[in-house]
Structure 1
Amino acid sequence: MTTADESVLLLGETPTSDAEAAAEQAWWRSTVVYQVYPRSFADSDGDGVGDIPGIISRLDYLQDLGVGVVWLSPVYRSPQDDNGYDISDYQDVDPMFGTLEDLDALIAGLHERGMRLVMDLVVNHTSDEHPWFVESASSRDAARRDWYIWRPPRPGMAGGEPGAEPNNWGSIFSGPAWQYDERTGEYYLHLFTRKQPDLNWENPEVRQAVYAMMRWWLDRGVDGFRMDVINFISKAEGLPDGEVPPGALYGNGFPHFGSGPRIHEFLQEMNREVFGDDPSRFLTVGEMPGATVEQARRYTDAERREVNMIFQFEHMEVDEGPGGKFDPRPIALSELKASLGRWQEGLASVGWNSLYWSNHDRPRAVSRFGDDGVHRVASAKALATVLHLMRGTPYVYQGEELGMTNTVFRDLDDFRDVESLNHYREAVGVRGQDPAQVLEALRYAGRDNSRTPVQWTDGPQAGFTTGEPWIPVTPNYREINAAAQVGDPDSVRSHYQRLIRLRREHAVVVDGSLRMLLPDDEQVFAYERTLGGVRMLVLANLSSASATVPAQALAGPADWAQAAVLNTNVANPAAITDAGVELAPWEATVRLVDGT
């Protein structure tokens, strides 16, 4: 049984300034975005890798789901060291995914169905096989030498010896953030893998080349960009050493490259040079690890013209221990609610939220935040309910609408992701950690969990391919698949359809203020949305045990006992009485009072 906490948090009123009023009309506020990870979505030619024709074959499925935007993870030419986030040609499609003509057909197919396409923009770094870097690395006098970040070894040290790196930063994918180049006798910076050298955004030629490429895509019909780690593009002058956390092998460079000194200048220049006089035509979302609420207000303030919204990571870190994502700890619901509530409050009057539970870099939502066993269906629906009805633009990661779960990893050979493999080598080979414990952490937090093929049918390879998939299908595909859920009113997918319709049909979902209820409750996630005389109550038990909510905890201007039930994930939603309400495990219900 839960305890009541009568305190509430009022999260802002409807924006009133001219700029904010204009932002209210922006199309991306009332839509839902669906992320496609191409190599795992649908394979049309049987080579085991998803492709653009495969995506085109499923456009009717996406239209029927009700989403308004498809965000396409990278399909550019790439050596695939980091599954396409290492780009060797920004203006061509990798043959494994198809052709430029296929991509044009995808854009046309989406537009014909009233949907839009957002491309992944990866411009903090390129592949080391990009012609820009090939030329940059050819000699110290190369014309594009200054397009990347090159530095000599530390004074008095020889290049390549331990500790000779220009500073002590560690790579996000393990190891040092510098790679020594014997031909030119200098190091280049790579915040990710050594095959992903960082571009030098201090060089105006680099910026103009990026802007020209972006305009080229907009001219092809692309409707916006998701900007990969875009807050990393401005580095602190001098690239100073970072503080070395206890037990760490390298310094923490984040304070010197996360939201660096010229980031706002660069984003405003990009907006001006690429999107012109009407940036509201396009959707721009910046992935910004480590960004704070205060920083997000500046990034997403419509008057500043930087980005429409950001992907922040605070609520993604509620299960991370001192050692980060591969040092997991139990999730406290109160901590999760406090994080989401803080962002709702912080961006209530200025800026805009993105709403997501998972993506290609995070484990499956129902396995991480829900109960992927007995209560898989109910918990998948409950998680969707509390997310989609908050203030912001919801993002659905492929398969999330089916309640897909984390996969099964028997041993290290089952992993494909460079981050997981690098972590295992460093944790076991350098730190001497227990291999079994490291493997268990990878099973929980590894990125491959979300990268297994979409489960379309209960047939061979889940209907994803007629060949051997690049990564094995999750074994439960016979139970969890799209064919079994399309048309079933009780399915997870149908629940997502209803939530997406609510966003279109009720202005309170898009424009209403939000009041968090029960902030300290460890079972129940509840909030109230208000717009004029319309009030909506979202009440969800996010636990696998029943929960009791006293009536006084829901007290307010609306009479929730008599309110119409807009959506629920149970056959008979619990009644709200003078004594309160008894919620079944993972029960979620949405009620509406229309005072107009």
Structure 2
Amino acid sequence: MSDTWWKAAVIYQIYPSSFKDTNGDGWGDLPGIISKVDYLKNLGVDILWISPIYKSPQADMGYDIADYKLIDPIYGTNEDIDVLVAELKKRDMKLMMDLVVNHTSNEHAWFVDSISSKSSPKRSWYIWKDPAGSDSNGDPLPPNNWCQLLGDANSAWTYDPESKQFYLSLFTPEQPDLNWETPEVRAAVHDAMRFWLDKGVCGYRMDVINLISKDQRFPDAPVTNDGGKAKYHPGSKWYTNGPRMHEFLREVKREVLAPYKAVTVGEMPGVSDPDEVLKTVHQGDGELSMIFIFDVVDVDFVPGEGRLALRPFKTGDWVKDVVKWQRVMWERDGWNSVFIENHDNPRSVSRYCDDSDEWREKGAKLLALMQTTLSGTIFVYQGEEIGVRNMPKYWDGVLDKKARDHARTPMHWDGSPHGGFCGKDVKPWMRVMDDYVTFNVDVQTNSNSDDDLSIWQYWQRGLSNRKAHADAFVHGEFQSVDNAEGDDVFAYLKVGKESGTWVIVLNFSGDEVQWRMPSNVKVQGWVAGNYLKGKPDKPTEGTIGLRPFEGLLGRSAA
């Protein structure tokens, strides 16, 4: 198998608590995932990526790890992982684990030891600092003014009254940051990674991996929150892509990743500079296989105002980011990840299209057509393949549009109670969407319409077509077509060495659009669309009428 086989792989993200419950506790588990391996194989999946399933007190849904070598009993056992790897291997599939090593749980044995005494051998495994002084009440002040990433009204530092020092906890007090400056910490992380690779795991998604190196001066952050009136402020300038990050990642690659030929995808929020990104994902000397670039999924973020601030956006606002990274990676020998959904973001059909009953299916297929024809390694998030949408209005204001819970509702397997996620007499850990009776896997995989494909069948066909013409859709050059900023029509060419040139035209408008084909683009014929199963009956030159959320795939005559 080629060392770069993973480039054409389809990676499917499973949010384990919401995938499939088999033991009746209302919480998804590993046996549930094992029971659906054939379903995923049939869809076209090659790699399963499972969000964290290690032992954890679940203060942050498993992103607070208490033991890197032990599966949490709520999900199953280490033996279940062995079974899953074996079942995947039978089907020529692989498993990718989630790796969270910027921080641990405060219940991890390392931290329990670290906090026990200032003289503990593991004190230096975490970031401990003396107070900056005392306030007017005599209470100790944090070492600097950094705010938490998950609550900017709070300090990023947590005080330990026993030792009279603070420890850094960028996310929550239950998630103390590891000190990567300590060689023993890095060696322990390498050891944990080898443990699962030795069990047959193919690689890792690496959580907030660009936060592992902090500026050791730990200076105050610029005063920006609440017009400068807040006590604490974003210090990301001092810990995002820190001074030793690339050194640490090169060490991980040398000591662990390269010997195992492991596949990696790094979560690196707040990074959009091509020069910086290429240091990590350059296919010649980069440290990781690829990273998640969040420009598209962050299109509605307001810089400096946190994840729940909302900025209105148009199609052209995020299309320009797609164009940018498709071109950058092609021209500079990098590698893209293709995704628009994950466990931290609202559902894509609700965000980029129209999730109403009238247009939901067309929008979901439009997004599938786009993703299955863009260069890079594609990631499909659970439920995306059946067009799961956001929950109906549940909160007030911005939260209703941007809450992470939209992506975490239980999977709809069939029309039985709770969508088949758990038994009818079991209460699921989170509400199941009300439309599970009609929008579920069973309905969509068994659809037998002569005229149209279900969303699932459309994804299946698109993923198959992507693999059949990987030279164009996975590896091919991306050429933009008439993509003026603000346009609702996103059109581009994909050029392959063997399969030739393909034309993709996507109308992200809820209106009918008369779109004129540029004179330098020649279409031999349209081979697929998202309105009918068969070939679209559309002109191949001049003005083309596009219906709301209509997408077309054609062969170029050139």
Which TM-score band (shorter chain)? over 0.9
Equivalents in 2 of 1:410, 1:513: separation in Å? Answer: 43
How has the CA–CA distance of structure 1 residues 570 and 201 changed in structure 2, closer, same or farther, with 3 Å as cutoff? same
Match of 1:101 in 2: 79
Give 1:35 deviation, angstroms.
0.2
Amino acid at match of 2:432: V
In 2, Cα distance between equivalents of 1:160 and 1:109: 60
- For residue 570 of structure 1, what is the aligned residue in structure 2? 532
The alignment status of 1:319 with 2:297, answered yes or no, reads no
Please give the alpha-carbon distance, in whole angstroms, between the structure 1 residues aligned to 2:17 and 2:139: 38
Indicate whether 1:404 and 2:388 are aligned.
Answer: yes
2:513 equivalent to 1:547? yes
Q: What letter is aligned with 1:75?
A: I
Aligned residue in 1 for 2:350: 367
**C-alpha distance in 1, partners of 2:169/2:314?**
35
CA contact (8 A) 1:551 1:576 kept: no
Question: Is the contact made by 2:375 and 2:478 (CA closer than 8 Å) also made in structure 1?
Answer: yes
The amino acid of 2:351's aligned partner reads R
Q: Do 2:529 and 2:550's aligned partners in 1 also have CA atoms closer than 8 Å?
A: no
1:525 aligned onto 2:499: no
In the alignment, the residues of structure 1 paired with residue 463 and residue 130 of structure 2 have an alpha-carbon distance, to the nearest angstrom, of 54
Displacement of 1:158 in angstroms is 9.1
**CA 297–304 in structure 1, closer or farther in 2 if over 3 Å, else same:** same
Q: Which amino acid aligns with 1:511?
A: H
Shift of the alpha carbon at 1:579?
2.8
Structure 2 residue aligned with 1:180, among 159, 163, 169? 159
CA distance in 1, matches of 2:12, 2:531: 22
Give 2:237's aligned residue.
255
Of 38, 42, 45, the match for 1:60? 38
Q: How many percent identity over aligned positions?
A: 41
Residue aligning to 2:435: 476
* Conserved? CA contact 2:113–2:120, under 8 Å: yes
Q: Which consecutive unaligned segments of at least 5 residues does structure 1 have?
A: 1-21, 412-438
The answer on whether the counterparts of 2:526 and 2:552 sit within 8 Å (CA) in structure 1 is no
In the alignment, which residue of structure 1 is the partner of 2:412? 455
Aligned pairs, how many? 539
Give me the whole-angstrom Cα distance separating, in 2, the residues matched to 1:221 and 1:305. Answer: 24
Find the partner of 2:457 among 488, 494, 501.
494
CA displacement 1:541-564 (0-9 Å, x = unmatched)? 112111111132xx33x521x325
What's the counterpart of residue 551 of structure 2? Answer: 588
Per the TM alignment, residue 33 of structure 1 is displaced from its structure 2 partner at its CA by 0.5
Q: Show the counterpart of 1:114.
A: 92
Query: C-alpha displacement at 1:369, in angstroms?
Result: 1.0
The answer to whether structure 1 residue 44 and structure 2 residue 22 are counterparts is yes
CA distance in 2: counterparts of 1:532 and 1:223, whole angstroms: 29
Instruction: Please say if residues 388 and 394 of structure 1, whose CA atoms lie closer than 8 Å, have aligned partners that are also in contact.
Output: yes
Contact (CA 8 Å) 1:487, 1:494: kept in 2 or not? no
Residue 133 of structure 2 is aligned to residue 149 of structure 1 = no
Residue deviations 1:218-242 (CA, integer Å, cap 9, x gap)? 0000000000000000001211111
**Does the CA contact (< 8 Å) of 1:542 and 1:586 recur in 2?**
yes
**How far apart in 2 are the matches of 1:583 and 1:72?**
38
What is the identity, as a one-letter code, of the residue corresponding to 2:149?
Answer: I
SS in 1 for 2:148: coil
- Following the alignment from structure 2 to structure 1, what is the Cα–Cα distance between the partners of residues 115 and 417? 46
Shift, 1:275, TM fit: 2.3
Equivalent-residue separation in structure 2 for 1:302 and 1:277 (angstroms) = 17
TM-score, normalised relative to structure 2: 0.93
Aligned match for 1:445, one of 388, 402, 412 = 402
Helix, strand or coil at the partner of 1:484? helix
Determine helix, strand or coil for the equivalent of 2:397: helix
Distance (whole Å) between structure 1 residues aligned to residue 391 and residue 5 of structure 2: 36
Deviation beyond 6 Å, 4+ runs, structure 1: none
Shift of 1:483: 0.6
Instruction: State the shift of 1:345 in Å.
Output: 1.5
Provide, for residues 171-209 of structure 1, a one-character-per-residue CA deviation record: whole Å limited to 9, x for no partner.
111121011011111011011011000000000000000
Alpha-carbon distance between aligned partners in 2 of 1:242 and 1:329, rounded to the nearest angstrom: 24
Root-mean-square deviation over aligned CA pairs:
1.9
Match of 2:191 among 182, 206, 212: 212
* Structure 1 residue 532, shift from structure 2 partner: 3.6
The aligned residue for residue 287 of structure 1 is 267
Once the 2 structures are TM-superposed, how far is the Cα of residue 469 of structure 1 from its aligned partner?
A: 0.3
Helix, strand or coil at the partner of 1:317: coil
Q: 8 Å contact 2:522–2:541 — kept in the other structure?
A: no
Residues 523-556 of structure 1 deviation map (CA, whole Å, 9 limit, x = unaligned): 111110112471011111112111111132xx33
User: Which structure's relative contact order is higher, taking Cα pairs within 8 Å and 6+ residues apart?
Assistant: 1
Structure 2 alignment gaps of length 5 or more: none
Q: Which residue of 62, 67, 71 corresponds with 2:49?
A: 71
Q: How many Å apart are 1:278 and its aligned residue? A: 5.9
2:291 to 290, 295, 310: 310
Q: Does 1:267 align with 2:243?
A: no
Q: Distance in 1 between matches of 2:28 and 2:422?
A: 8
